[in-house]
């Protein structure tokens, strides 16, 4: 597929970036804007032997390549399809992988070694290769990592890795890196994007990135995706500068700028709890069963006393408390921290952002578990109302985002929990 074959997007000039991708027609939320099959992928080291090296599908009956015993495949078909890019590595891989120079590399550079090796034997007719070579290099030159087979023009190719390659996920959990030249060529970044990437795994085929509309998009509107997690409130601007060579001016970044320096969170536990309550009421999540959950972008109207929660490590702290207490209890603590985290997500992320849906599902499951041992009817009814409210939010958002990666996952969990809730009456 080339730039000329696109249906829903076209490339237009942009005032500051190289280009922009705009919609050619009105698009409904949930529409697939672009399908882009991977040019090259590499599994994280902890996924090797669990997933097929060609199609990335999980399997318990993979067969190893007899040449290197390093790559694993679903069957002969996957192995045959992977062979054109694997053949130059196969014989040399084991001695290269055990070498000191490879072992000394940080994990992401080891993955880059493999991705870079794909360029040693690209199919000459591959128009994705031409698109990849036409991408802009990142702002800083980094010497390419060693490759186990010579790659022509490795320097120039590697300069396009940091600012263009993607992390592939299943149910939003990352497990591989990939090169998707067309998607790189088309979409600019926004911290409040109107589209996001999901990955489709089909046995026997290279993984496909699907760019999905998160909300209705008007004809001629620019389509943006997030290059990194917008929750990196304090460091993201620096990452854009260093890795991508631009400054983000999305409404969230402008809002953050208008808010000014972020104060420290208070040390006094009572004051801290009072401010968290203030945050939840400001966003409107404190009474989950009666509220309408809506995103509320960061603007100057964010009350000054709760601006301390924009500290990046606060979200990390909150996620830690929630994930630990939702597993081990106490559930009161899990529901409390989970509701505050939901408020933060509604502040940071744009409408229908999949992470909001994932968290709402976790919160629904936690409220369900919390309701089980409750004998007090009023408390139990309250918890069940929370389950329903969170479940409906996660169904709306994740239903729109659609299935991603491996089978099962959040959509199946939503169906199961909904059945349990329906049985309760
Ligand atoms: Zn396979
Ligand atoms: Zn091999
Ligand atoms: Zn931004």
Reported as a single tens digit per residue, the pLDDT across 60-69 is 999 999 999 9
The token pair at 151 is: 């790659």
- CATH for the 261-424 domain, from 1.10.20, 3.30.1490, 2.60.120, 1.25.40: 1.25.40
Reported as a single tens digit per residue, the pLDDT across 18-28 is 889 999 999 99
Mutual angle of helices 377-401 and 354-371, in 10-degree steps? 160
Kindly state the percentage of the chain with pLDDT values over 70: 98
Q: Is the pLDDT of residue 118 over 90?
A: no
Reported as a single tens digit per residue, the pLDDT across 180-224 is 999 999 999 999 999 999 999 999 999 999 999 999 999 999 999
DSSP conformation class of 330:
-
Q: Is the pLDDT of residue 122 over 80?
A: no
Ligand 3 ion: nearby residues, β-carbon < 5 Å: 191, 248, 250, 252-253
Regarding predicted confidence, which is higher, 130 or 202?
202
- Domain regions of the chain by residue span: 3-230, 261-424
Q: Could you tell me the distance, in angstroms and rounded to a whole number, from the CA of residue 236 to the centre of ligand 3?
A: 8
**Averaged pLDDT for residues 305-320:** 95
Q: Is the pLDDT of residue 269 over 80?
A: yes
- CATH for the 3-230 domain, from 2.30.30.20, 3.30.1490.100, 2.170.270.10, 3.30.1240.10: 2.170.270.10
Ligand 2 ion: nearby residues, β-carbon < 5 Å: 65, 67-68, 71, 90
> 118, 40 in Cβ contact below 8 A?
yes
Ligand closest to the CA atom of residue 87: 2
> 394, 414 in Cβ contact below 8 A?
yes
Residue 186's SS3 state is: helix
Kindly state the percentage of the chain with pLDDT values over 90: 80
Q: Could you tell me the distance, in angstroms and rounded to a whole number, from the CA of residue 77 to the centre of ligand 1?
A: 8
Q: What is the pLDDT of residue 399?
A: 96
User: Do the first three CATH levels of 3-230 and 261-424 match, i.e. the same topology?
Assistant: no
Q: What is the pLDDT of residue 372?
A: 82
Residue 12's SS3 state is: strand
Q: What ipTM does the predicted assembly reach?
A: 0.96
**Averaged pLDDT for residues 348-372:** 94
**Averaged pLDDT for residues 224-247:** 94
């Amino acid at each position: 597929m080339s730039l000329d074959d696109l249906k829903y997007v076209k490339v237009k000039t942009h005032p500051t970036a190289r280009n922009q991708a705009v919609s050619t027609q009105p698009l409904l939320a949930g529409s697939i804007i672009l399908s882009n099959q991977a040019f090259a992928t590499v599994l994280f080291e902890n996924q090797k032997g669990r997933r097929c090296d060609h199609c990335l599908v999980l399997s318990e009956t993979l067969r190893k390549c007899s040449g290197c015993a390093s790559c694993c495949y679903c069957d002969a078909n996957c192995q045959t399809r992977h062979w054109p890019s694997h053949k130059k590595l196969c014989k040399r891989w084991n001695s290269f992988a055990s070498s000191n120079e490879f072992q000394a590399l940080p994990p992401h550079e080891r993955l880059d070694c493999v991705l870079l090796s794909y360029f040693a034997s690209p199919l000459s007719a591959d128009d994705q290769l031409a698109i990849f070579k036409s991408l802009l290099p990142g702002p800083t030159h980094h010497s390419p990592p060693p490759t186990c087979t010579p790659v022509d023009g490795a320097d120039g190719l590697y300069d396009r890795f940091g600012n263009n390659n993607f992390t592939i996920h299943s149910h939003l959990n990352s497990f591989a890196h990939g090169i998707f030249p067309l998607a790189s060529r088309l979409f600019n970044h926004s911290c409040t994007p109107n589209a996001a990437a999901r990955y489709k795994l089909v046995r026997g085929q290279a993984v496909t990135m699907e760019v999905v509309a998160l909300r209705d998009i008007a004809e001629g509107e620019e389509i943006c995706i997030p290059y990194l997690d917008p929750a990196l409130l304090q460091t993201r601007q620096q990452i854009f500068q260093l890795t991508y060579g631009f400054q983000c001016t999305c409404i969230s970044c402008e809002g953050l700028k208008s808010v000014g320096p972020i104060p420290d969170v208070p040390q006094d536990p009572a004051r801290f709890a009072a401010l968290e309550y203030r945050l939840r009421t400001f966003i409107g999540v404190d009474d989950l069963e009666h509220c309408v959950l809506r995103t509320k972008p960061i603007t100057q109207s964010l009350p000054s006393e709760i601006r301390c929660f924009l500290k990046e490590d606060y979200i990390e702290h909150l996620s830690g408390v929630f994930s630990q207490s939702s597993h081990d209890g106490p559930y009161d603590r899990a529901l409390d921290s989970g509701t505050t985290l939901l408020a933060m997500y509604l502040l940071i992320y744009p409408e229908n952002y999949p992470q909001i849906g994932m968290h709402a599902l976790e919160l629904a499951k936690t409220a369900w578990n919390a309701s089980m041992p409750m004998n007090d009817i009023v408390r139990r009814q309250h918890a069940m109302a929370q389950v329903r409210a969170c479940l409906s939010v996660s169904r709306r958002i994740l239903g729109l985002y659609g299935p991603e990666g491996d089978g099962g996952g959040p959509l199946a969990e939503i169906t199961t929990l909904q059945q349990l809730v329906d049985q309760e009456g």
